[in-house]
A and B are shown apart, each in its own frame.
Chain A
Amino acid sequence: MPIKFPFSRRAAPTDAWTKCPSCEAQVFNRQLERSLRLCPSCGHHFRMSVGERLDLLLDPGSFEERDAGIEAVDRLGFHDDRPYIQRLEASRVKTGLRDAIVWGIGDVEGTRVAIAIFDFRFMGGSMGAVVGEKLARCFETALAERIPAIVVTASGGARMQEGTLSLMQLAKTTAPLVRLDQAGIPFITVLTDPTTGGVLASFASLGDVVLAEPKALIGFAGARVASDTVGEELPEGFQSAEFLLAHGFVDAIVPRPELRSALGRLLRLLPVAATEDEGEDDGERPWGPIGAITGLAERFGGAVSETIGIDVDSPGGNGRSPAAPADREEER
């Protein structure tokens, strides 16, 4: 919120500061905006809105939003202390978003990607039919255009107000990933604070590469549910990004200032697989296990093939097995 100006010191607006949950320092909101929402004293990663994420990750001016008009409907007629429709409306007014996710096409360090970003402020980033639909369309577009897919998650899980239909979104968002696998399209997920429940138990865990922000809460069951079930206090740091890294479910923890360059590097290192027809007219084959040997041999002739111990000129064609062990025996 903009700070009203002028204001007296005594009547400072209450929304000018945020208390850091890690080090309890009072942080000036303007400063948070300038510092990628990192706490200046302890580096705590505050949650980001979808707009701030887009500014952080994508090349300026490259993002094109898709399917902005999809809206949730109340299929169940759900009512707790107020109707689901009212909760939706309140979240829409608060965030300016239509649902908990925005997806579109944009460039990350020059690589065109299909990217979907959650916003936790919209009903806890919960996944209902709209979030599921947008994710499925994001993956399907990545498939059709043969560009990598990226999802940045921040979600409490499936949206209870949509009943089992929200549970079905786990399958709806996971099914297109099988097609991405078959087509050779890379899929990267970035887990941010918090990512729990049905979102983690579907596409979010299934990235070809899974990145996480430091100290993010990431877990299957809410900590309260878990401690109720086992009837004991849970260890410190349980369900953190670091916990998942230690147990092998996250590839890397990337601090926010490096996130964009990390994604850019990964996208260059893990390109979309060449399709069959592209591979045929293209003289320069990618460096595969076979490409490495034949490619070098073609370029440099026999000199290289000798150093790697395969005699490509022998009449046998494929070359006999390297005689290296015997040679070494003699040298000794």
Chain B
Amino acid sequence: MTEIGLTASPPTEEAVAEAWRRVQLARHPGRPRTLDLVPLIFDGFFELHGDRAFGDDAAIVSGPALLDGRPVMVIGHQKGTDTESNILRNFGSPHPEGFRKAQRLMRLADKLGMPVVTFLDTAGAFPGPAAEERGQAEAIASSIKLMTGLQVPIVVVILGEGGSGGALAIGVGDTVLALENAVYSVISPEGCASILWRSREEARTAAAAMRMTAADQVDLGVVDAIVAEPGEGAHSDPPATARALRAAIVSALRRLSGRETAELLATRYARLRGMGAFLETGAGPSRLPETPSLRHRIGRILHLPGVPRRPRWSEIWPSDDHDPENERGA
């Protein structure tokens, strides 16, 4: 895999155009949202509100529903379709109470032994001061933790944009499906471009470089399977999209529901544990500088000139004051 690194080059124009086309489709204003698809996939969806601590977040919708006659818990991001509903839904960007509502309903699913089906469609968790005050990071972290240990099957479906931590907070699952034109990324292409290229104009290039299309995600092992979209995209025929999704979710749940809880959790753990590539070189641990002789040891205590002090790790990894590092992650 190191060879890939040696041949790394800026994305080609075709790759940039293709990646950006997918991003545009994932963000298409007519793309069916969670609440458009849920009535077409499930029966009797009953929306439940509120996190029992602060309030209700309309950017996440959730509640029990029947799939193929079996009760499941449905949780999804909800974007708006026009200005008014987008303000209500905060453009699909949840606050901490949204994630805490999701956690509450996942616990309920766990208690009753119902499978969980989640739909991801968000540009990311909301980054404003109110969200920070109420612990956005903690809400996402505890949501991820809850999902990694949930004792019922979880099927995740990426509908549109899978935006970073806000998506992963309800996106840890046993099977991860993605619609053909969905995208998934660690940071929005605009955000990535403004940090690494220092210009938001380079968002297209960033989108290609991050390999955020559904096909790329299958290649990376983050997504298990792609659900094909009808015609020019999901917006051209929502009912057909829903039918395709329903079939994929039902078959994924059938495969998962045969497993014992312990096996289910072990497989989920192994799946997460295997994420990411690295090289295991045999290089040994960094060694402390040795001060072997008696003269040195006595000299160290008495602070004799020319004798080094007790060995310190900071001599192996000293700090570097005059070069402030300002590279940032997401």
Determine the distance from Cα of A175 to Cα of B278 in the docked complex, in whole angstroms.
19
CB-CB nearest in chain A for B187: A160
Q: In residues 41-75 of chain A, which contact B (Cβ within 8 Å)?
A: 46-52, 54-55, 60-61, 63-66, 68-75
Q: Does B279 reach chain A (CB closer than 8 Å)?
A: yes
Stretch from B30-38, B62-70, B318-326 that touches the partner: B318-326
Which residue in A81, A119, A170, A238 is a CB contact (below 8 Å) of B132? A238
Per-residue CB contact flags for chain B residues 192-203 toward chain A (1 = under 8 Å, else 0) read: 100111000000
Q: A157 touching B141 by the CB < 8 A rule? A: no
Stretch from B210-218, B227-235, B255-263 that touches the partner: B210-218
Determine the distance from Cα of A75 to Cα of B211 in the docked complex, in whole angstroms.
10
Determine the distance from Cα of A172 to Cα of B7 in the docked complex, in whole angstroms.
28
**With A174-B141, A175-B269, A206-B145 in contact, is A71–B327 under 8 Å at CB?**
no
From residue A150, how far is it (CB to closest CB) to chain B in Å? 16
Stretch from B101-109, B122-130, B242-250 that touches the partner: B122-130
Q: In residues 275-330 of chain B, which contact A (Cβ within 8 Å)?
A: 275-286, 288, 310, 312-323, 325-330
Determine the distance from Cα of A1 to Cα of B328 in the docked complex, in whole angstroms.
24
Which residue in B135, B212, B319 is a CB contact (below 8 Å) of A49? B319
Q: Does A303 reach chain B (CB closer than 8 Å)?
A: no
Q: Which residues of A contact B140 (CB under 8 A)?
A: 170, 201-202, 220
Q: Which of A49, A69, A163 counts the most B-chain CB atoms under 10 A from its CB?
A: A163
Which residue in B8, B126, B144, B325 is a CB contact (below 8 Å) of A202? B144
Determine the distance from Cα of A44 to Cα of B55 in the docked complex, in whole angstroms.
38
Known: A52-B313, A198-B165. 5 other contacts (CB 8 A): A73-B5, A74-B5, A133-B276, A201-B125, A249-B138
Which residue in B191, B196, B319 is a CB contact (below 8 Å) of A48? B319
Q: B142 touching A206 by the CB < 8 A rule? A: yes
Q: Which residues of A contact B211 (CB under 8 A)?
A: 76, 163
Q: B132 touching A104 by the CB < 8 A rule? A: no
Which residue in A55, A79, A124, A203 is a CB contact (below 8 Å) of B314? A55
Q: A18 touching B322 by the CB < 8 A rule? A: yes
Stretch from A93-101, A294-302, A320-328 that touches the partner: A93-101
Q: A226 touching B141 by the CB < 8 A rule? A: no
Count chain B residues whose beta carbon lies closer than 8 angstroms to a beta carbon of A.
90
Q: Does B273 reach chain A (CB closer than 8 Å)?
A: yes
From residue A90, how far is it (CB to closest CB) to chain B in Å? 10
Determine the distance from Cα of A79 to Cα of B326 in the docked complex, in whole angstroms.
18
Q: Does B172 reach chain A (CB closer than 8 Å)?
A: yes
Q: B220 touching A163 by the CB < 8 A rule? A: yes
Q: B273 touching A167 by the CB < 8 A rule? A: no
Q: A166 touching B172 by the CB < 8 A rule? A: no
Determine the distance from Cα of A29 to Cα of B320 in the docked complex, in whole angstroms.
10
Q: Does A235 reach chain B (CB closer than 8 Å)?
A: yes
Q: A178 touching B319 by the CB < 8 A rule? A: no
Which residue in B212, B283, B319 is a CB contact (below 8 Å) of A37? B319
**With A32-B321, A220-B127 in contact, is A80–B144 under 8 Å at CB?**
no
Q: Does A22 reach chain B (CB closer than 8 Å)?
A: no
Q: B220 touching A164 by the CB < 8 A rule? A: yes
CB-CB nearest in chain A for B209: A78
Q: B128 touching A133 by the CB < 8 A rule? A: no
Q: B281 touching A71 by the CB < 8 A rule? A: yes
Q: Does A155 reach chain B (CB closer than 8 Å)?
A: yes
Q: Which residues of A contact B2 (CB under 8 A)?
A: 73-74
CB-CB nearest in chain B for A218: B137
Which residue in A63, A172, A249 is a CB contact (below 8 Å) of B275? A172
**With A119-B317, A167-B165 in contact, is A75–B277 under 8 Å at CB?**
yes
Q: Which residues of A contact B285 (CB under 8 A)?
A: 64-66, 68, 104
Determine the distance from Cα of A87 to Cα of B329 in the docked complex, in whole angstroms.
13
Q: B137 touching A70 by the CB < 8 A rule? A: no
CB-CB nearest in chain A for B192: A160
Q: Which residues of A contact B10 (CB under 8 A)?
A: 79-80
From residue B212, how far is it (CB to closest CB) to chain A in Å? 7
Interface size of A as a range: 35 or more
Determine the distance from Cα of A65 to Cα of B285 in the docked complex, in whole angstroms.
5
Q: Which residues of B contact A54 (CB under 8 A)?
A: 313-314
**With A104-B285, A205-B141 in contact, is A76–B127 under 8 Å at CB?**
no
Q: B192 touching A77 by the CB < 8 A rule? A: no
Q: Which residues of B contact A29 (CB under 8 A)?
A: 321
Q: B222 touching A164 by the CB < 8 A rule? A: yes
Determine the distance from Cα of A220 to Cα of B278 in the docked complex, in whole angstroms.
27
Q: Which of B169, B212, B279 counts the most A-chain CB atoms under 10 A from its CB?
A: B279
Q: Which residues of B contact A69 (CB under 8 A)?
A: 280-284
Q: Does A128 reach chain B (CB closer than 8 Å)?
A: yes
Q: A167 touching B317 by the CB < 8 A rule? A: no
Q: A77 touching B272 by the CB < 8 A rule? A: no
**With A80-B196, A160-B192, A225-B191 in contact, is A74–B275 under 8 Å at CB?**
no
Return 28 A-B CB contacts under 8 Å, by A number. A1-B320, A51-B313, A61-B288, A66-B285, A68-B284, A70-B279, A73-B5, A76-B220, A80-B206, A81-B196, A81-B197, A84-B5, A96-B318, A126-B327, A158-B330, A159-B329, A160-B192, A163-B186, A168-B272, A169-B275, A170-B168, A171-B272, A171-B275, A172-B272, A201-B136, A201-B140, A226-B127, A249-B137
From residue A115, how far is it (CB to closest CB) to chain B in Å? 12
Which residue in B209, B281, B321, B326 is a CB contact (below 8 Å) of A18? B321
From residue B283, how far is it (CB to closest CB) to chain A in Å? 4
Q: Which residues of A contact B284 (CB under 8 A)?
A: 68-69
Q: In residues 158-192 of chain A, which contact B (Cβ within 8 Å)?
A: 158-160, 162-172, 174-175, 177-178
Determine the distance from Cα of A156 to Cα of B327 in the docked complex, in whole angstroms.
8
Q: Does B17 reach chain A (CB closer than 8 Å)?
A: no
From residue B99, how far is it (CB to closest CB) to chain A in Å? 10
Q: Does A112 reach chain B (CB closer than 8 Å)?
A: no
